[in-house]
Amino acid sequence: MANRSKKVVLSARVDPYLKAALELLAASRNEKIVKILESCLENGMNDRTITNPFNAPRKDLGTISFMVAFTAIWSENETLYKLRAGTLGPDFAGEELSMVAMVINDDKYFDGEFDVFGDLNGSTEKFGFTPRMQPRVDLALVEKEWPIVEEYVRFLANNKPLQPGYADYKNMRAQSLAK
């Protein structure tokens, strides 16, 4: 996977012996600790297998590396990446992100021409993967309203059994903000 132009800071607490091992490995290879750490993280995620979240032409592709699936959905556009991940379901992306994606994919309000998955970043040709769903959205609208949809999903989770539709929630929100 190509390096992104921007790096992000990751803070983690590790056992002292792991830190010492990391420092020793970096020194022995004359590499920076960050490079060794990135390599270890990517290798670790390559070693983790998951149930394939895509349709696959062969039965032996029933489980795949997490990184194979991740590479298929990755985008520099954070909203698109999160929508793709959430659309794959809670086993892949967790409950909240899956609910956000479900609201967007199921509400006609967000319908548009943009193919959310496209060719799965080349995984369609490489592995024969196809998405189980093929949502089309107005990506500009999704990007604009993503934070509101996240609020809506949290609202639903915190106010059971109240289940207003997304349009009703936006009206309630607008009235509340107008006061």
pLDDT for 16 equals: 95
Q: Is 139 helix (H, G, I), strand (E, B) or coil?
A: helix
Decide if 85 contacts 38 (C-beta within 8 A).
Answer: no
Q: Is 113 helix (H, G, I), strand (E, B) or coil?
A: strand
Q: Is the pLDDT of residue 84 over 60?
A: yes
Separation CA 79–CA 137 (nearest Å): 12
- What is the chain's alpha carbon radius of gyration, rounded to the nearest angstrom? 20
pLDDT for 1 equals: 42
- Which residue ranges make up each domain of the chain? 14-47, 49-178
Mean pLDDT across 118-140? 94
Supply the pTM of this predicted model.
0.86
Decide if 52 contacts 63 (C-beta within 8 A).
Answer: yes
Q: Is 130 helix (H, G, I), strand (E, B) or coil?
A: strand
For the chain, the first-to-last Cα distance in angstroms comes to: 49
Decide if 61 contacts 127 (C-beta within 8 A).
Answer: yes
pLDDT digits (tens, 9 = 90+) for 163-174: 999 999 999 999
Between vectors from CA 23 to CA 19 and to CA 26, what angle results, nearest 5°?
135
Question: Among all chains, which residue has been given the structure tokens 């290798």?
Answer: 43
Q: Output 126 or 3, whichever has higher pLDDT.
A: 126
Separation CA 66–CA 81 (nearest Å): 15
pLDDT digits (tens, 9 = 90+) for 26-71: 999 999 999 999 999 999 999 999 999 999 988 888 899 999 999 9
Separation CA 32–CA 109 (nearest Å): 48
pLDDT for 9 equals: 87
> Counting every residue, how long is the chain?
179
Measured from the Cβ of residue 40, the count of other Cβ atoms closer than 10 Å reads 13
pLDDT for 5 equals: 58
